[in-house]
A and B are shown apart, each in its own frame.
Chain A
Amino acid sequence: MSANQQSSKAMNQNKGVVGQPINRVDGRLKVTGGARYAVEYPIENMAYAALIGSTIANGRIKSIDTSEARRVPGVLHIMTHENAPKLKPVMTNPAEGDAAGKRVPLQSPNVYYSGQYIALVVAETLEQARRAADLLRVTYDEQPPATDMDKERGRAYIPKQKVAGKPADTTRGNPDAGLSAAAVKVDEIYRTPTEHHNPMEPHATTAVWEGERLTVYDATQYTYGVRHAMAATFGIPEENVRVICKFTGGGFGCKGTVWSHVSLAAAAAREVKRPVRLATTRQQMFANMGHRAETEQRVVLGATSDGKLTAIIHEGLSHNSTYDEFVEPFSKPTHMMYACENFRASQRLVSLNVGTPTYMRAPGETSGMFALESALDELAYKLNIDPVHLRLINHADTDPDEKLPWSTKLLKECYKTGAERFGWSRRKPTPASMRDGRYLVGMGMASAVYPVNHFPSSARVIIKQDGTAIAESSTHDLGTGAYTVLTQVAADTLGLPVERVRVRLAHSDNAAKGETYQAILTRAGLKEVEGDFDMQFNDRQKTHSSHSFGAHFAEVRVDPDFGEVRVTRATSVFDIGRVMNMKLAESQMRGGVVMGIGMALMEETVIDKNSGRIVNRDLAEYHVPVHADVPPIDIVLLDNFDEYASPIGAKGAGEIGIVGAAAAVANAIYHATNVRVRDLPITPDKLIGKGALA
Chain B
Amino acid sequence: MFKTFGIRWKEMNSFTYKRAANEAEAIREVADNRSAKFLAGGTNLIDLMKMNVQQPSELVDINRLALKKIESIPTGLRIGALATNSEVANNKLVQEGFPVLSEALLAGASPQLRNMATVGGNLLQRTRCYYFMDTAFPCNKRVPGSGCPAIPGFNRIHAILGASEHCIATHPSDMCVALAALDAVIRVEGPKGARSIAITDFHRLPGDTPEIDTNLQPDELIVSVDLPSSAFAKRSGYLKIRDRAQYAFALVSVAAALDIKNGRIEAARIALGGVAHKPWRSTEAEKVLTGAQSNAQTFKAAAEAALRGAVPQNHNAFKVELAKRAIVRILNDVSGRRVGGAA
CB within 8 Å of B: which residues of A?
55, 72-74, 114, 123-125, 127-128, 130-131, 134, 561-562, 564, 566, 601-602, 606, 608-611, 613, 615-617, 620-621, 623, 625-629, 683-685, 688-689
A626 to B149, CA, bound (A): 30
Chain A neighbourhood of B137, CB < 8 A: 608, 611, 613
Partner of A566, one of B154, B245, B326: B245
Chain A interface: which of B71-79, B285-293, B317-325? B317-325
Does the CB pair A685–B154 fall under 8 Å? no
Chain B neighbourhood of A629, CB < 8 A: 244-246
Partner of B152, one of A131, A610, A617: A610
B179 within 8 A of A: no
Does the CB pair B243–A688 fall under 8 Å? no
- Chain B residue with minimal CB distance to A687? B318
**B310 CB, min distance to chain A CBs, angstroms:** 15
Partner of A623, one of B149, B244, B329: B244
B17 within 8 A of A: no
- Going nearest first, the 8 A-B pairs with the smallest beta carbon separation are A628-B245, A615-B130, A55-B136, A685-B318, A127-B12, A128-B11, A628-B246, A561-B325
A615 to B155, CA, bound (A): 11
Chain B neighbourhood of A127, CB < 8 A: 9, 11-12
**B84 CB, min distance to chain A CBs, angstroms:** 19
Chain B neighbourhood of A621, CB < 8 A: 128, 130
Mark interface residues in B238-250 (1 if CB within 8 Å of A CB, else 0). Answer: 0001111111100
Does the CB pair A684–B241 fall under 8 Å? yes
Does the CB pair B12–A131 fall under 8 Å? yes
CB within 8 Å of A: which residues of B?
9-13, 52, 110, 128, 130-131, 134, 136-137, 149, 152-154, 156, 241-248, 251, 318, 321-322, 325-326, 328-329
Does the CB pair B245–A626 fall under 8 Å? yes
A602 to B248, CA, bound (A): 11
Chain B neighbourhood of A610, CB < 8 A: 149, 152-153
Does the CB pair B52–A134 fall under 8 Å? yes
Task: Given the known inter-chain contacts A629-B245, A684-B243, please indicate yes or no for A131 contacting B13, CB distance below 8 A.
Answer: yes
Chain A neighbourhood of B149, CB < 8 A: 608, 610-611
Chain A neighbourhood of B247, CB < 8 A: 620, 626
A55 to B321, CA, bound (A): 36
Chain A neighbourhood of B325, CB < 8 A: 561-562, 688
A625 to B153, CA, bound (A): 26
Does the CB pair B13–A134 fall under 8 Å? yes
Chain B neighbourhood of A620, CB < 8 A: 128, 247
**B301 CB, min distance to chain A CBs, angstroms:** 17
- Chain A residue with minimal CB distance to B152? A610
Does the CB pair B241–A74 fall under 8 Å? no
Chain A neighbourhood of B321, CB < 8 A: 688-689
Does the CB pair A626–B244 fall under 8 Å? yes
Instruction: Tally inter-chain residue pairs, CB-CB below 8 A.
Output: 100
A688 to B243, CA, bound (A): 13
Does the CB pair B245–A130 fall under 8 Å? no
Does the CB pair A128–B153 fall under 8 Å? no
- Chain B residue with minimal CB distance to A124? B11
Does the CB pair A684–B136 fall under 8 Å? no
Does the CB pair B241–A616 fall under 8 Å? no
Chain A neighbourhood of B110, CB < 8 A: 626
Partner of B11, one of A131, A562, A566, A609: A131
Most chain A beta-carbon contacts within 10 A, residue among B136, B244, B251:
B244
Chain A neighbourhood of B156, CB < 8 A: 685
Chain B neighbourhood of A55, CB < 8 A: 136
Does the CB pair B318–A73 fall under 8 Å? no
Chain B neighbourhood of A73, CB < 8 A: 10-11
A43 to B113, CA, bound (A): 34
Task: Given the known inter-chain contacts A562-B241, A628-B246, A688-B318, please indicate yes or no for A608 contacting B153, CB distance below 8 A.
Answer: yes
- Chain B residue with minimal CB distance to A681? B243
A628 to B52, CA, bound (A): 32
A74 to B10, CA, bound (A): 10
Does the CB pair A609–B153 fall under 8 Å? yes
Does the CB pair B154–A609 fall under 8 Å? yes
A125 to B11, CA, bound (A): 9
Does the CB pair B152–A130 fall under 8 Å? no
Chain B neighbourhood of A628, CB < 8 A: 244-246
**B228 CB, min distance to chain A CBs, angstroms:** 31
Does the CB pair B322–A688 fall under 8 Å? yes
**B138 CB, min distance to chain A CBs, angstroms:** 10
A623 to B243, CA, bound (A): 8
Task: Given the known inter-chain contacts A73-B10, A623-B248, A629-B244, please indicate yes or no for A562 contacting B322, CB distance below 8 A.
Answer: yes
Partner of A562, one of B9, B248, B326: B326
- Chain B residue with minimal CB distance to A72? B11
Does the CB pair A615–B134 fall under 8 Å? yes
Chain A neighbourhood of B12, CB < 8 A: 127-128, 130-131
